[in-house]
């Protein structure tokens, strides 16, 4: 039985899957199985896996196309490892991800290790201005934080925290013991139509605490294939037939046209989990008034859907008697908000690094992982401290703190240059 299972549910995406698998096969930890769940038995996917000819890669398929949640559940059923994560078919893992996770779980009672991934927007990303871009929030202090699950759930249900901050199996390693407890209780692990979102709610419900690593173990990739962005962000609307095929439960309550707002669709999943899981175990009520604020805050993430989103916000305001003017709906923007390329200070010992991949030879998620691996701090698992979640401690001398921070940024800049030359040489 392998120690790690890297589950990759996929649907007709051999072009990006090839590069995702390259990052998984580059793990320094060898006790790994890679479970590819081929939705609908796509031939190109099958041929790709045959060409890899690697015993770590295990191919499973359904004869018919099933929903996203069913495909994820099938992938999970085919995993035999003790520590499990789900990797999207346009995402990537850092080479040391499994090694670090293994060391963290080699402790008392650890069942969840989570992190905030970097972001890579493929050349096929829908917004032309942000195509082929790496956005990396780099912390110069690698540490483990002990997070209380209940407060995160409460903030999430009040729309004061993003779903991505929950310990989803999509940005976490999850122990088999936790997964089996959930399956024993409910007969399945994944709920609803957005399995990443509902897994975060479930994991937080099933655990009093989870560990969060300040250094990411993966990069989330968003390509032209990415269902979430096609459904809620892209200018071209998601066809009704595809909506019903991939998200059948959502399709019963929402329309891919006027209802294709991310916060609105996530709220549907939150209500479902409230009814079937939280009400029985740990009652938390969805703050539907705050939903209107959340939708207003993100209204320009998809300018082409501005009018539909604005109408939905005004409907919520009428329903909950929210006074006009209490919620400020931003004016329509021509493009979604995005950070400019460059280095942005983003807090104590942390920067946001935004890189345009075109001039430095990045073309795929595997390229992005190789580059980012050169700029993130290494992790010494022997000295990785575990502590309560808190802000980074203040330096006694602000001048010394600034000096150290500038030194770290300079190290970062010098580490990028030789690597980008290598990438350009490959082209």
**Is the Cβ–Cβ distance between 60 and 38 less than 8 Å?**
yes
pLDDT, tens only, 47-97: 999 999 999 999 999 999 999 999 999 999 999 999 999 999 999 999 999
- Binning pLDDT at 50, 70 and 90, where does residue 388 land? low
DSSP string across 202-252: HHHHH-SEEEEESS-SEEEEE-TT-HHHHHHTSSSPPPHHHHHHH-HHHHT
Residue 273 has pLDDT above 50, yes or no: yes
Sheet (strand 133-139) strand order? 92-93, 218-222, 118-121, 133-139, 350-356, 342-345
Closest to 18 in 3D by CA, of 45, 42, 38: 45
**Does the structural domain 1-286+336-427 have CATH classification 3.90.550.10?**
yes
User: Rounded distance, CA 121 to CA 44, Å?
Assistant: 23
pLDDT, tens only, 196-208: 999 999 999 999 9
Mean pLDDT of the chain: 90
Name every residue whose Cβ is closer than 8 Å to that of residue 404 and which is 6 or more positions away in sequence: 395
Beta bridge partners of 9: 37
| Tokens (6 digits) for 423 | 């990438």
User: Rounded distance, CA 420 to CA 360, Å?
Assistant: 5
Q: Are strands 118-121 and 133-139 parallel, antiparallel or unpaired?
A: antiparallel
End-to-end CA distance of the chain: 40
DSSP string across 58-72: EEEE-SS---HHHHH
DSSP state of 342: E
Name every residue whose Cβ is closer than 8 Å to that of residue 209 and which is 6 or more positions away in sequence: 146, 147, 148, 149
pLDDT, tens only, 175-225: 999 999 999 999 999 999 999 999 999 999 999 999 999 999 999 999 999
Structure-derived torsion over alpha carbons of residues 116, 27, 195, 111, reported in degrees to the nearest 10: -70
Predicted confidence at residue 427, as pLDDT, reads 46
Closest to 377 in 3D by CA, of 170, 136, 165, 212: 136
DSSP string across 74-87: HHHHT---SEEEE-
The average pLDDT across 119-128 equals: 96
Which alpha helices (H) appear in 252-326, and where do they start and end?
A: 262-273, 279-281, 288-297, 306-319
The three-point CA angle 236-237-242 to 5° equals 120
Residue whose token pair is 């050349």: 123
Predicted confidence at residue 387, as pLDDT, reads 64
Write down the domain spans for the chain: 1-286+336-427
Q: Whole-model pTM?
A: 0.91
User: Rounded distance, CA 256 to CA 193, Å?
Assistant: 13
Q: Count other C-beta atoms under 10 Å from residue 195's C-beta.
A: 27
Closest to 384 in 3D by CA, of 146, 189, 177: 146
């Amino acid at each position: 039985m392998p120690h790690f299972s890297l589950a990759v549910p996929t649907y007709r995406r051999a072009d990006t899957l090839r590069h995702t698998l390259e990052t998984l096969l580059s793990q320094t930890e060898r006790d790994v199985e890679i479970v590819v769940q081929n939705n609908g038995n796509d031939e190109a996917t099958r041929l790709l896996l045959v060409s890899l000819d690697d015993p770590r890669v295990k191919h499973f398929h359904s004869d018919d196309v099933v929903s996203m949640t069913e495909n994820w559940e099938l992938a999970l059923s085919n995993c035999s490892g003790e520590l499990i994560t789900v990797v999207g078919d346009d995402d990537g893992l850092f080479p040391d991800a499994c090694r670090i996770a293994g060391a963290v779980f080699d402790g008392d009672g650890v069942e969840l290790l989570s992190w905030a991934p970097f972001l890579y927007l493929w050349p096929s990303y829908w917004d032309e201005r942000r195509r082929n871009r790496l956005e990396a929030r780099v912390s110069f202090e690698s540490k483990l934080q002990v997070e209380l699950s209940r407060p995160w759930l409460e903030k999430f249900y009040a729309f004061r925290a993003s779903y991505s901050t929950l310990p989803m199996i999509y940005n976490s390693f999850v122990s088999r013991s936790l997964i089996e407890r959930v399956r024993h209780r409910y007969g399945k692990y994944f709920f609803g139509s957005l399995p990443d979102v509902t897994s975060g709610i479930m994991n937080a419900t099933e655990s009093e605490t989870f560990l969060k690593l300040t250094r990411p173990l993966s990069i989330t990739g968003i390509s032209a294939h990415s269902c979430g962005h096609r459904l809620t962000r892209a200018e071209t609307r998601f066809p009704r037939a595809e909506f019903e095929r991939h998200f059948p439960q959502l399709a019963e309550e929402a329309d891919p046209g006027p209802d294709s707002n991310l916060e609105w669709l996530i709220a549907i999943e939150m209500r479902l989990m409230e009814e079937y899981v939280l009400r029985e175990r740990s009652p938390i009520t969805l703050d539907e008034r705050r939903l209107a604020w959340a939708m207003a805050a993100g209204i320009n993430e998809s300018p082409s859907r501005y009018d539909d989103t604005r109408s939905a916000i005004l409907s919520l305001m009428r329903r909950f008697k929210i006074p006009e003017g209490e919620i400020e709906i931003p004016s329509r923007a021509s493009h979604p908000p995005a950070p400019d390329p460059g280095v942005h200070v983003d807090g104590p010992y942390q920067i946001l690094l935004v890189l345009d991949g075109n001039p430095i030879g990045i073309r795929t998620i595997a390229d992005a992982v190789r580059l980012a691996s050169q700029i993130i701090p290494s992790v010494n698992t022997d000295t990785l401290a575990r502590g309560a979640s808190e802000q980074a401690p203040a330096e006694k001398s602000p001048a010394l703190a600034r000096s150290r921070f500038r030194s770290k940024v300079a190290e970062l800049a010098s580490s990028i240059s030789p690597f980008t030359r290598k990438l350009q040489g490959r082209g």
